[in-house]
Amino acid sequence: MRITDADVWQMATEVNHQSRNRYGGTTRLERALVRLCDEEGHEGWGEAMPVSFTDEAISDAVGAIKAAAATLKGREMEDPLAEIGSLADFSGLSAARSGLEAAFLDLMSQRSGTPLADAFGGERRSEFLLDGPIGLVSPKEAIEKAGGFLAQGITTFKIKVGADPDTDAKRVLCLREEFGPDIHLRMDANGGYTPEEALHFAKRMEKANIEHFEQPVLPAEERCFEIFRQIRAMGVPIAVDESLFSLDHANRLIGEDAVDVGVIKIAKFGGPLAACEVARAFEAAGKVCVLSSSYESFIGKAMGMTLATSLENCARAQELGHSAPEAEFAEWRHNLSGGTMSRTEGAGLGARGLADCLEALSASLA
């Protein structure tokens, strides 16, 4: 394979999204898109959007991808995936490496004419359910948001907690009372509770038929695994996000009998292939995985969708439909409607950036 061109665009878009969590509310989304072109005219696309609770800065991510792009133009590559590490220093830049690996996977799938899901062991389904996010809002606002999601066909709600356990409990319980047993409720504290607060909140959830309780405390809490096990003993399943950045983390969580669900944000792991390894470890242990994205564009969502279609256990709604109103700079051939995400036929990612729009958005940062 010869890379004839490699382009990188850095963007920042202002949004009105107000799904507030314990980290605050997002109003500015920063990312980089990368395009790799080969001698046959194929284009491979990837997206690098650092996860909010990491130290990865978009400027550093862009710098690494641009350094890699500079060495790629005109380069013959026998094993692109094995050569990524030699292209630039991606230390501490998992989202940057992830975006570049995604572009290579897209390009290689198109060149071979085989489904992209083959890179993850093959596709097991072509569609799956989506959830709807509810931030740190009042019970009345939570009910209004949930009603809107139900009108779209979404019956699983991810509710932000992690501020005040009693106020948070009211937000969750009002939804169960309002909509009854036909909805699925999951909570995410983003590690915002102390151990005592987490246990108190979980106790109030015992009879609420909760799908899972995500990241009750941060991994830095010395009693973290103990707290997770105590909550699981109450019959409330535990999901992890901030505690899960590698296969080693996954294996330790499983070995400690401290987890039920792994939240898979591809950007955390340095690439789709590493994310797939983590997902396989969870599923081999009888656990569940949920693919999630940090308000990525269609490009990032398409990669998450492809990995999600390869999951063994996909009965739960995935967290790939979250979006925020922003300038349109990417498109895809897949579908997101009626509370489901589904893929259409064809090789490759099935998503690409709109170069003219990307150029305009990048220029606005200059």
Q: Which H or E run includes 227?
A: helix 224-233
> What is the number of domains present in the chain?
2
My answer on whether 183 and 51 are in the same domain is no
Residue 104: pLDDT above 70?
A: yes
Question: Considering the chain, what percentage of its residues have pLDDT values greater than 70?
Answer: 96
Mean pLDDT computed over 266-295: 96
Residue 18: pLDDT above 60?
A: no
Residue 324 pLDDT class (50, 70, 90 cuts): low
| Burial class (CB within 10 angstroms; exposed 0-12, middle 13-18, buried 19+) of 113 | exposed
Give the per-residue pLDDT at 322: 84
Which has the higher per-residue pLDDT, 121 or 24?
121
CB of 56 closer than 8 Å to CB of 229: no
My answer on whether 258 and 124 are in the same domain is yes
Mean pLDDT computed over 254-281: 98
My answer on whether 228 and 106 are in the same domain is no
My answer on whether 31 and 141 are in the same domain is no
CA angle 284, 253, 305 (to 5 degrees): 55
My answer on whether 108 and 127 are in the same domain is no
The CATH number of the domain holding residue 59 is: 3.30.390.10
My answer on whether 127 and 32 are in the same domain is no
The CATH number of the domain holding residue 326 is: 3.20.20.120
Look at residues 36, 321, 343, 288 and name the one whose alpha carbon lies nearest to residue 153: 321
Question: Whole-angstrom Cα distance, residue 14 to residue 326?
Answer: 7
Q: What is the mean pLDDT of the chain?
A: 94
Residue 32: pLDDT above 60?
A: yes
My answer on whether 130 and 101 are in the same domain is no
| Burial class (CB within 10 angstroms; exposed 0-12, middle 13-18, buried 19+) of 228 | buried
Residue 24 pLDDT class (50, 70, 90 cuts): low
Question: Considering the chain, what percentage of its residues have pLDDT values greater than 90?
Answer: 88
Residue 23: pLDDT above 80?
A: no
My answer on whether 346 and 359 are in the same domain is no
Residues 131-169: tens digit of each pLDDT: 999 999 999 999 999 999 999 999 999 999 999 999 999
Q: DSSP string covering 43-86, please? A: EEEEEE---TTS---HHHHHHHHHHHHHHHTTEE-SSHHHHGGG
Domain that holds residue 26: 2-116+354-363
My answer on whether 274 and 192 are in the same domain is yes
My answer on whether 127 and 109 are in the same domain is no
Give the per-residue pLDDT at 295: 86
Count other C-beta atoms under 10 Å from residue 106's C-beta.
30
My answer on whether 33 and 144 are in the same domain is no
CB of 124 closer than 8 Å to CB of 149: no
My answer on whether 73 and 195 are in the same domain is no
Residues 33-90: tens digit of each pLDDT: 999 999 999 999 999 999 989 999 999 999 999 999 999 999 999 999 999 999 999 9
Residue 176: partners with Cβ closer than 8 Å, 6 or more residues away: 183, 185, 208, 209
pTM check: above 0.85: yes
Residues 342-362: tens digit of each pLDDT: 999 999 999 999 999 999 888
Residue 293 pLDDT class (50, 70, 90 cuts): confident
